[in-house]
Amino acid sequence: MRRADLVAGVLLLALAGVYLQQSLGIERGFASDRLGPAFFPQLLGATLAVLAGALVVRAVLKRSDPTPLPPARVGLLWAVVGLLVGYAVVMPYVGFLLATPPLLAAVTVALGLRQPLLVVAPALGITLVLYAVFGRLLGVLFPRGPLGGW
């Protein structure tokens, strides 16, 4: 956890820095109040910087929680995240109905279910149910893709 705290502290310091730097560029606009639109963000940014500094100092002085992290299937996690990101990129072009079953099937397989029927049938079924409920019943306008008016 110590190394993670150090990394997080440094990242948060950087975030606070960027945030504060960006807050300098906020225009006052028509604000007639004394604090203006930049005050609250700057207060937050400064506080975050102080707390992030505390995280770094704690990690360096070895005063943070030394408990080791629980094991995680990092590869699997990134595989699923990759699938989701790919879906979000592709779906607007391919359309909801064509993009969703492969995503669901791929996630199911990645998570360890291998029987073809148990992978394919629910992927199609869930997609159709989601489409029926959200697309048809609730009128959500999904990207259609090459299937057109379907």
Partner 1 sequence: MLERFALGAQVAFHPTALLMTLVGVAWGIVGGALPGISGSIAMALLLPLTFGMDPAVALMMLAGVYVGAMYGGSITAILISTPGTPGAAATVVDGYELHRRGQSGKALGVSLVTGTIGGVVGVFILVGMAVPLSKIALAFGPPEYFALGVFGLALISSFVGRDLVKGLVSALLGLILATIGIDPFAGTPRFAFGNVDLLSGVAAPAGMIGLFAVSEILHQIAEGGDWERIRGRYSTQLPSLREIWSLRVATLIGIVFGTIEGLLPGGGGAIASFIAYNEAKRWSKRPEEFGRGSLEGVAAPETANNVVTATALIPLLTFGIPGSNSAAILLTAMMLHGVQPGPALFDRTPHIVYGLFVGLLVANVMMLVLGYLALRPSIAIVNVRRPLLLSGILGLVLVGAYSINNRMFEVWIVLVTGLVGYAMRRYGYNVLAMVLGLVLGFMVEANLRRSLLISLGDPWVFFTRPISAVLLALALATFVSPILRRVREERRAAHAEGVARPAAG
Residue ranges in 37-56 that form contacts with partner 1 under rule CB under 8 A: 37, 39-41, 44-45, 47-48, 51-52, 54-55
CA distance 34 to 87: 46
Q: Which is nearer to partner 1, 130 or 145 (CB)?
A: 130
CA distance 81 to 76: 9
**Element (DSSP H or E) covering residue 102:** helix 96-110
Q: Which of 6, 10, 17, 36 binds partner 1 (CB under 8 A)?
A: 36
In contact, 130 and 100? CB cutoff 8 Å = yes
**Element (DSSP H or E) covering residue 138:** none
The yes or no reply on residue 86 touching partner 1 (CB under 8 A) is no
Question: To the nearest whole angstrom, how small is the minimum distance from the Cβ of residue 148 to partner 1?
Answer: 18
The yes or no reply on residue 97 touching partner 1 (CB under 8 A) is no
User: Per-residue x/- marks for partner 1, 105-124, CB under 8 A?
Assistant: x-xxx-xxx----x---xx-
* Residue 61 in tokens: 């002085």
Q: Which is nearer to partner 1, 72 or 149 (CB)?
A: 72
End-to-end CA distance of the chain: 51
The yes or no reply on residue 150 touching partner 1 (CB under 8 A) is no
Q: Which of 66, 68, 139, 148 binds partner 1 (CB under 8 A)?
A: 139
In contact, 43 and 19? CB cutoff 8 Å = no
